[in-house]
Structure 1
Amino acid sequence: MAGKIPKTAVGNMVRREPIRLKPATSLGDVVAAMKTQERGAAIVEDDNGRPVGIVTEHDFRAKLDHGSLDWHSHTVDTIMNKNPKTIRSSQFLHEALALMISCKFRHVPVINDNDYVINILSIRDIIIYMAKLYPQEFLNQPPDPHTESSGRYGG
């Protein structure tokens, strides 16, 4: 691996169709969809299919009034990140990582040339991709599995 991130277009890393929501979708429906589909984020689109927001599991922790008994009936547009930053499917993985690091994102919408969201790239997607690309480095097995550590690690 030698510290190099491959020149892989983000569009080639697309794993599955994103959860697509309308701004008026209830938070209860959002939670149900994210749980059922095992996703950490969903895209919020206008009637033309253009992204107007993204909602992540972080938004539920940070922006939701947990004291409210009727939170599930509120709409996603009350907690979503409006006008999300996106990355084009033709851009490279290192560009996506730079955006995610500089903005402290764990999810970023991937758009095509017509500005439609085709996926939401997650940090998990990147780790899985890199682990498959560089299995030796990610498996982190000792050369001899019977060798024991000579020093203490951790505290």
Structure 2
Amino acid sequence: ERLSGFRDALEKEGLSMPPEYIKIGDFRLNSGYALGQELLALDRPPTAIFSCNNLMTMGLLQAIHAHPAHSLGKTVAVVGFDDIPISTLTDPPLTVVSRPMREMGVQAARLIMARMESPAKPLETVVLGPQLIIRGSEKNPGLLRWI
């Protein structure tokens, strides 16, 4: 869903992305690191990377830090998904798409209780929107190079 949402957003704005920039990981730290290394080793590495979860983002940041030609917020911008406390400790602090986790839990509990009280009641869908928290890692002077 995250990838299709990202592609939909690009399409809506009339933008495209080279297919070699799309990497599918397994939501683990090592995957973020390995895929970050692959992206940074390209002849024309991306100037901005959106990472789909906190562990992969941390691995990506390790890859950027280990690569001598790249620097977070200078040669490559990063936006992560999920807001964790360590996101504010990077330099620059990590810009993230944050989900309302507490509210998700509250709504899930409410839906379960409602289902237990009225099993025949039609299913209810609750949509909770994410929030973009801008902290600084989204900056990059060469950001629009590939567009």
TM-score (norm: length of structure 1):
0.28
Q: Which of structures 1 and 2 has the bigger CA Rg?
A: 1
TM-score (norm: length of structure 2):
0.29
Whose strand proportion is higher, 1 or 2? Answer: 1
Whose helix proportion is higher, 1 or 2? Answer: 2
